[in-house]
Amino acid sequence: MLIMKIFIRIFIVFIFMLSLLIGQRAEARYAAIVIDADSGDVLHSINANTRNYPASLTKMMTLYLLFEALDQGHVELNQQMTVSRNATQARPSKLGLRRGERITIQDAIEALIAKSANDIAVVVAEELSGSVQAFAKAMTKRARKLGMRHTTFRNPHGLPNRGHLSSARDMAVLSRFLIKDFPHYYNYFATKKFKFRGRDYKNHNKLLEFYTGADGIKTGYTKAAGYNLAASAERNGNRIIAVVFGGKTAKFRDLHVRKLLDKGFAKLSIEEGSRNDYPAKDNAAKTYFAEKQEYNKNTLLKSKTSLPPFKNSWPEEFVKKFDPVQTSTPNLENRTTDVAKLITPVVRASIGKPRTWMIQIGAYVQIAAAVRQAIYAAEKLSALGKDYEVTIMTGKSNARSVYRARLSGLNKKGAIEACSQLKKHKFDCFPMSPQM
């Protein structure tokens, strides 16, 4: 009898602790990310890979698969879909259609975006895949193909399900692909008001009303998720995507995303010749490596980092080819051979992701400035007794060539330590894992 009582007490304590863990998992956890929609460069990131509840941001994938079906000719905008009993049982927010009623695909698109109608998400899922379960599997499969590694879908609407998880980064990826793959449908996300059967439904995305350049994409909320928002805005030909998970209130979320968008546009500016950003995820990007060289200060561009003392000089031919006062940005792709001859002892091109940790010091519109800053950083770090490879990666930003100055050949600890040292010398610096 005593043993039984002890067992019961232990069981009660176990259940209590389990309930606490489940309760903690259901609490919204803040995460945010800002990316350049054109290049994919990450401009700001906090807890971006944390898995949490996406809420109605889920409907972006429902719409992605619907847009895909439209383009493939499987369905048409004026096609009617029938509401099932299962759809009518979806919890609000919903249009509240009765079993057997019909809705066109075009109306369904606007209902998903503006009203965030859960019942219509079920209607779409059943129309395209026959069941919610089959559609959820298709959603997850598509997510993997798009590179959404932290996402698993269990339903088409985002209502609470313990296995239905995503991340801020993944939702930014999805937003980018919606814009990129379906520009002819993306304008639906700018819908401010949806009219259906004589009733007006306002879009929950208030940024469309008060943020200049905002044109989508989707809001989300559940008690477990908090207030989520994926937003995009375009200004002067530049497009930014910002995603926030776990906002405390709708107002907080909207104002915070507004600040993040402002921050993103500010970081896109490289007029001063330096930009602290993440690399575009372009497997075809070429990376050029060179060992430490001496150089002449006449080859330098202005930067906020003070200039180092100089001992010798780069070859005169190099200075002429990459004169920093030239008005046009040199085309590195056409000068691979020349650069290889001029920067000794070895320059090699690398395709794909780096194999080691790296640190990025800045991004520049001229290669001479990028090489200079990378070498200067390597000199500052020589006290650590480490050997570094200077890495200049080419990329595009705002239709302009950008040369990113990096040091490679580090492990995680070394990258963090190197950035810590460089920041003491007023360098912009952040560590980069091989997975970035």
Reported as a single tens digit per residue, the pLDDT across 131-189 is: 999 999 999 999 999 999 999 999 999 999 999 999 999 999 999 999 999 999 999 99
pLDDT in tens, 240-260: 999 999 999 999 999 999 999
Active site residue 433: no
| Helix boundaries (H) for 269-408 | 316-321, 336-342, 367-380
Measure the CA–CA gap between 168 and 241, rounded to whole angstroms.
Answer: 11
**110 in the same domain as 217:** yes
**234 in the same domain as 94:** yes
- Domain ends where: 233, 268, 303? 268
Residue 2: band (very low, low, confident or very high) from pLDDT cuts 50, 70, 90: low
- For the chain, the domain total comes to 2
Percent helix, strand, coil in the chain, to 5, is 40, 20, 35
Q: At what angle do helices 59-71 and 118-129 cross, to 10 degrees?
A: 40
- Contact of 436 with 278, CB cutoff 8 Å: yes
Instruction: Look up the CATH number of the domain holding residue 325.
Output: 3.30.70.1070
3 state DSSP class of 53: coil
Least confident of 67-81, 177-191, 306-320: 306-320
The tokens 């239905």 sit on which residue?
164
Residue 436: band (very low, low, confident or very high) from pLDDT cuts 50, 70, 90: low
pLDDT in tens, 5-40: 555 565 554 554 544 444 434 444 799 999 999 889
Q: Which pLDDT does position 27 carry in this prediction?
A: 42
**311 in the same domain as 233:** no
Active site residue 59: yes
- Contact of 428 with 405, CB cutoff 8 Å: no
For 336-369, the DSSP string reads HHHHHHHS-S---EEESS-SSEEEEEEEESSHHH
Residue 354: band (very low, low, confident or very high) from pLDDT cuts 50, 70, 90: low
Q: Which residues of 372-384 are buried (b: 16+ CB within 10 A; e: fewer)?
A: bbbbbbbebbeee
Which residues, in sequence order, are CB contacts of 269 under 8 Å at separation 6+?
275
Q: What is the mean pLDDT of residues 291-309?
A: 32
Query: Would 317 be classed as within a structural domain?
Result: yes
- From the candidates 116, 175, 303, 408, give the one annotated as an active-site residue: 116
- Contact of 286 with 394, CB cutoff 8 Å: yes
Q: What is the mean pLDDT of residues 428-433?
A: 80
Residue 346: band (very low, low, confident or very high) from pLDDT cuts 50, 70, 90: very low
Measure the CA–CA gap between 84 and 102, rounded to whole angstroms.
Answer: 9
Query: Would 12 be classed as within a structural domain?
Result: no
Measure the CA–CA gap between 368 and 400, rounded to whole angstroms.
Answer: 16
Instruction: Look up the CATH number of the domain holding residue 100.
Output: 3.40.710.10
3 state DSSP class of 231: strand
Query: Would 8 be classed as within a structural domain?
Result: no
Indicate whether 298 pLDDT > 90: no
Higher-pLDDT residue of 316, 21? 21
Measure the CA–CA gap between 9 and 21, rounded to whole angstroms.
Answer: 19
Please report, to the nearest 10 degrees, the dihedral formed by the alpha carbons of residues 61, 67, 69, 70 taken in order: 170
pLDDT in tens, 176-224: 999 999 999 999 999 999 999 989 999 999 999 999 999 999 999 999 9
**151 in the same domain as 108:** yes
Which residues, in sequence order, are CB contacts of 38 under 8 Å at separation 6+?
238, 239, 396, 397, 398
Residue 386: band (very low, low, confident or very high) from pLDDT cuts 50, 70, 90: low
Query: Would 278 be classed as within a structural domain?
Result: no
Residue 274: band (very low, low, confident or very high) from pLDDT cuts 50, 70, 90: very low
Query: Would 161 be classed as within a structural domain?
Result: yes
Active site residue 93: no
Partners of 81 in beta bridges: 103
Which residues, in sequence order, are CB contacts of 175 under 8 Å at separation 6+?
37, 60, 216, 217, 218, 230, 232, 241, 243
**210 in the same domain as 313:** no
**315 in the same domain as 229:** no
- Domain ends where: 268, 298, 325? 268
Query: Would 97 be classed as within a structural domain?
Result: yes
**309 in the same domain as 230:** no
Indicate whether 332 pLDDT > 50: no
**293 in the same domain as 264:** no
pTM metric for this prediction = 0.60
Partners of 46 in beta bridges: 32
Q: Which pLDDT does position 384 carry in this prediction?
A: 61
**365 in the same domain as 242:** no
Select, from the ranges 67-76, 271-280, 296-305, 426-435, the one with the highest average predicted confidence (pLDDT).
Answer: 67-76
Indicate whether 382 pLDDT > 90: no
Q: Which pLDDT does position 264 carry in this prediction?
A: 92
Integer Rg of the chain from CA: 26
- Cα diameter, the chain: 93
- Contact of 66 with 128, CB cutoff 8 Å: yes
- Domain ends where: 241, 268, 295? 268
Q: Which pLDDT does position 328 carry in this prediction?
A: 30
**Residue of 427, 430, 404 whose CA lies nearest to 416:** 430
Amino acid of residue 327: T
**306 in the same domain as 259:** no
Indicate whether 293 pLDDT > 50: no
- From the candidates 39, 56, 175, 408, give the one annotated as an active-site residue: 56
Query: Would 254 be classed as within a structural domain?
Result: yes
Intra-chain end-to-end CA distance of the chain, in Å: 59
Q: Which pLDDT does position 434 carry in this prediction?
A: 73
- Contact of 125 with 63, CB cutoff 8 Å: no
Phi, psi of 69 (to 5 degrees): -65, -35
Indicate whether 286 pLDDT > 50: no
Q: Average pLDDT, whole number, for the chain?
A: 77
Query: Would 409 be classed as within a structural domain?
Result: yes
**372 in the same domain as 230:** no
**320 in the same domain as 193:** no
Full domain range(s) for residue 91: 29-268
Structure tokens at 142: 């598509």
Q: Which pLDDT does position 363 carry in this prediction?
A: 79
Q: Which pLDDT does position 5 carry in this prediction?
A: 55
Q: Is 249 exposed, middle or buried (0-12, 13-18, 19+ CB in 10 A)?
A: exposed
